[in-house]
Structure 1
Amino acid sequence: MTSARTLPVSPADPSGRRAGTDEGGGTSRRLPVPDWLWAALLALAVSGFGIGGAQPWRDELASWNAATRGTGELVDMLGHVDAVSGLYYLLLHGWVSVFGDSTAMLRLPSALAMAGAAAFAVLTARTLFDRRTAVFTGLLFAFVPAVSRYGQEARSYAFVVLAVSAATWLLLRALERPAPRRWAPYALAVAAAGLFHVVSLLFLLPHALIVLLRWWHDRRGRTVVAFAVTVTAALLPVIPLVLLGQRQVGRQIGWIKTPHLRSVADLWGNLFGSPTIGLALAAVVLLPLAWSRGRRPAVELVLAGAAPIAAAWVVSQGSTSYFMDRYLLFTLPAWVVLAAAGLAALRPYRAGALALAALILLGLPDQRQMRTEWARVGLDGEAAARVIAEGYRPGDGFVPVRGADRVYMVDFQVEYFLPHRVRLRDVFAERSAVDGDDLFPKECEQPVRCLGSTQRVWVVTWSGTKNPYHKLPKDQAEALASHYRVAESRSVRGLSVSLLERVK
């Protein structure tokens, strides 16, 4: 019969292992196995597998569009839109200038960030529990589908997970032996988390609660003061970003709906990239609370995982909602460590290992699905670009569906895959996105005047209809219909590509 053992909690050195001991309790004469290193390499290998397979979706293409601008152009854009992603865009800008902008290269920084997050999750597990829990954490973290999902996405979320994971472990180190040299790196991690995504600062709520719980236990008042001073200093560089982001919030996330109680259940499955894995982990994350010696670290991890979700739900009842699974992805390491502690505490030991293997196998279908070509988009921008490239002539114009549908970034979907030799004139762009310091161009108020002498125009809009101007703004459709005839029209997955020729 499977039973549980008491979760060990013992003094740990800064690396998160019990100083001077091996697993049997004797003195170790060998250098400790760097569990954080193999865990990072495993997470990198899993996240990197098939990293360039799925076509990039619109948020990734927004990252590409921003990162491939000049540094000054990018900074100017951030003053008007996407300021909260500014640090990530600047980092990606430097990366692509060296390694190029292929799909795999755009996503590789995120895979590296997830590898770093895995390392800090293992160090946290070793600090709070034991080596067996650390090993289970490294294995489980690497194979959670959401780790691959966001480790293969050209957005900032993996970096947020890295920063918060680092901050959690650095906080534990500082609480063990408070000193300025331990609080300083914690401040850097807090600042990095806020600069990569301001919503992630919700993790400071459980961190403050952990500090208060430790203070209640040992009554070291200076620790509370040190934490408060450190967080205040860390937030100073984030304040301008918060103020700027507030001016842009309506445009950035105004579409997110106010959450209901049922939204919490939906978020839980999405948080792990698999409803199946979410349910399975829900069955084990509370196990450590059942054992007295492991209860304190388990409570701290529950706070780290649950408090930001609860806070985001409450705050989102106001005028702006922040309740999105990817915005709260930074809570995932806490849940993984907690689940690993529950599995590692099962007896016989083989039961925990088998349960871990079962969890990994349960996630494999979702791992495979997210690596398919159409996992993230329902349209084939690459095929549309191929059609245009095959029939391209210098001087051709380009009219993608924008207007009310510009948020779908059909123009980016096509432009990303166009070869460099294809240089289309954006017919209805009165001012380019770069000149307007925006992600999108400013479109002509009088489309007829913007046609100029363009002889041929490629129109890309949604498929599913014979109308080549489907979903184009009415004035743009009328201007094209009155001056051009449809020479050819082809449909690819989700898109219609039509070549228009000017009427003599």
Structure 2
Amino acid sequence: MPDAAGRGARVARGLVVLLPAGLMLLLGAWGIRRQDAIWRDEAVTLDMAHRGPADLWATLLHVDVVHGLYYALMHLWFAGYDATLRGAFGDAVGLRLPSVAAMTVAAVGVALLGERLVGRRAGLCAGCTFALIPVVQQYAQEGRSYATVCALVVWASYLLVLAAAGPRRGLWLGYTVLMLVACLLHEFASLALPAHGAAVILARLPRRVLRAWLLCAVTTLAGLAPLAVFSTRQSAQISWLMWPDPVQLLTFAVLAVLGVACARVRVRSRGPIGLRALGVPLLLLPTLLLLLLSHVEPAYVDRYVLYYVVGFALLAGAALARLLRPAGESGQTRGRRLRWAVTAGLVPVVLLPVNVHLRSPDSRVDDVTAIAHALREVAEPGDGLLFMPSRRRIWRATLPHEFRGLHDLALAKSPSASHTLYGTERSGDAIRDRMLAARRIIVAGDPDGQPVDDNDQEIAKRSTLHSAFTICRTVQVRGARITVYGRPGACGGGG
């Protein structure tokens, strides 16, 4: 009998881990290719991950140092992937597989965290809730660092809960290492530290625990400090950020309201750090602090603090487990439980159109693959080529062969030769002279409604096209407009 009970406990514990992991892996693999569409940030990852260590290091000294560790890890990953799997699956899958794996690990961590805070049923519900959140599925299929950062914060939170229950140096060391790596992957992972500090304070833990956490937090920030100081030299990279996107703000607002409502459901916590003490700060503080920072300098993008959804998953999972718990009371109780079960079952159905959209090329701001194909369809050998603005030169990183035979009229040094993301361009006068020597020019530019750059190079491009060329043809692609310009009389043939 004891053996049977032990096996049952092991099976139950296994389900807490396996069901969320299996669900997240399934959702991560579903539509991972996205019709081989790659958007501009993923194109940057692909480009940087395929640069040699020396070239990568030289580039990071000029730009994107905040993502340097991630690019280095992806360089190691692609060294093996390109040799074994790229021929069968292509670049898109290779870019996203690490994020799928990271989100799967995060789902397991959320489940174990929920189990530790409340119980097995709460852990199972929390892990599955986490996997079903659309924004989690979005970044599980993105070749960027955000899924990995989320996983590291989840497991750091788990070690924090364990250390609070039974302080051991190994747990605090593990917590520090995970948080430091998360911060080195993305600096705004440091905003999880105030949430963890709030959890320690709200739980009214002994002073020795608070001192231990403070030492870990200070160590983490000290380790991050050199990168943070150096990266301020490259702050112009996020100059494109304006006021937060309304859709992203609405997503946070909805999850925050639902999470706070779930926190009002009575649940019994099992450890010194309670569910509310950790879940509510983790849900609210990182985003609110980032929004506060954005009043000084625009910096808010939801993916920078993606791990806030962990707080929601914990609170919602515990509330759902409480409302669905077995009870042998009145028919009214059973009816209420049935209504909650039906409601919970309908949520994935309601979210299905959103999840289907996330797996389409239209779900991202642009489609580098489609842009390259569209440009090849309208171009003729010997045509001039312009990117407007110059940072859109990243569009050629994934399919460079589609741009063969075209002359990049503005380019002075290629991205790799100049150790930059987009290359360096000639002076405005030099660009104008080269444009006037061309018969036809293909312009790969932003769609209507986007702000235009006002540097000499972009002004020279616009003014010369307006005064000396006519529009032959325009093709709209997701996130871009491909326009064929010709000198008078040059629009009649081809293209």
Q: Could you say whether these structures have the same fold, taking a TM-score greater than 0.5 normalized by the shorter chain as the test? A: yes
Q: SS in structure 2 opposite 1:178?
A: coil
Matched ranges for 1:215-254 at <5 A? 216-217=204-205, 219=206, 221-249=207-235, 251-254=236-239
Structure-to-structure mapping, 1:224-373, within 5 angstroms? 224-249=210-235, 251-257=236-242, 267-271=248-252, 278=254, 282-283=257-258, 285-291=260-266, 293-294=268-269, 296-318=274-296, 320-347=297-324, 348=334, 349-373=337-361
Q: 1:284 to 1:168 in 2, by over 3 A?
A: closer
Q: 1:164 aligns with which of 141, 150, 153?
A: 153
Measure the CA separation in 1 of the matches of 2:438 and 2:211.
68
- One-letter code of the match for 1:345? R
* Kept in 2: contact 1:110–1:154 (CA 8 A): yes
How far apart, CA to CA, are the structure 1 residues paired with 2:251 and 2:259? 18
Aligned length in residues: 455
- Tell me the equivalent position of 1:57: 39
AA in 1 matched with 2:425: E
* In structure 1, distance between residues paired with 2:368 and 2:221: 42
SS in structure 1 of the partner of residue 306 of structure 2: helix
Query: How big is the shift at 1:351?
Result: 4.2
1:48 aligns with 2:34: no
- More helix as a share of residues: 2
Query: CA–CA distance in 1 between the matches of 2:268 and 2:123?
Result: 17
In structure 1, what is the Cα distance between the partners aligned to 2:292 and 2:447? Answer: 40
Q: Which runs of 5+ in 2 are unaligned?
A: 83-89, 325-333, 450-454, 491-495
- Structure 2 CA distance, aligned partners of 1:103 and 1:428? 29
Aligned counterparts of 1:462 and 1:164: Cα–Cα separation in 2: 36
Q: Shift in Å at residue 417 of structure 1?
A: 3.2
1:198 aligns with 2:187: yes
Matches within 5 A, 1:468-483: 473-476=458-461
Q: How does 1:137-176 map to 2 (within 5 A)?
A: 137-176=126-165
* CA 433–38 in structure 1, closer or farther in 2 if over 3 Å, else same: same
CA RMSD of aligned residues (A): 3.5
Output the amino acid matched with 1:112. A
Percent of aligned pairs sharing the same letter: 25
Match of 2:387 among 364, 387, 400: 400
Q: TM-score normalised to the size of structure 2?
A: 0.80
1:427 aligns with one of 386, 392, 409: 409
Match of 2:86 in 1: none
Structure 2 counterparts to residues 111-130 of structure 1, below 5 A? 111-130=100-119
The DSSP-based 3-state class of the residue aligned with 2:264 is: helix
- Alpha-carbon distance in structure 1 between the residues aligned to 2:259 and 2:213: 32
Q: 1-side partners of 2:193 and 2:216: how far apart? A: 11
Aligned counterparts of 1:503 and 1:316: Cα–Cα separation in 2: 51
Task: Return closer, same or farther for 1:21/1:140 CA change in 2, 3 Å cut-off.
Answer: farther
Question: What is the alpha-carbon distance in structure 1 between the residues aligned to residue 169 and residue 441 of structure 2?
Answer: 63
TM-score (norm 1): 0.79
- Flag the 1:79–1:123 CA change in 2: closer, same or farther, 3 A: same
Q: Is the 8 A contact 1:56 1:377 kept in 2?
A: no
**Is the alpha carbon distance of 1:462 and 1:336 closer, same or farther for their aligned partners in structure 2, counting shifts above 3 Å?**
closer
- Aligned partner of 1:468 in structure 2 is none
Amino acid at match of 2:52: G
Cα distance in 2, alignment partners of residues 59 and 45 from structure 1: 24
Report the Cα distance in structure 2 between the residues aligned to 1:200 and 1:171, rounded to whole angstroms. 15
Query: Partner letter of residue 461 of structure 2?
Result: Q
Gaps of 5+ in 1: 1-19, 466-470
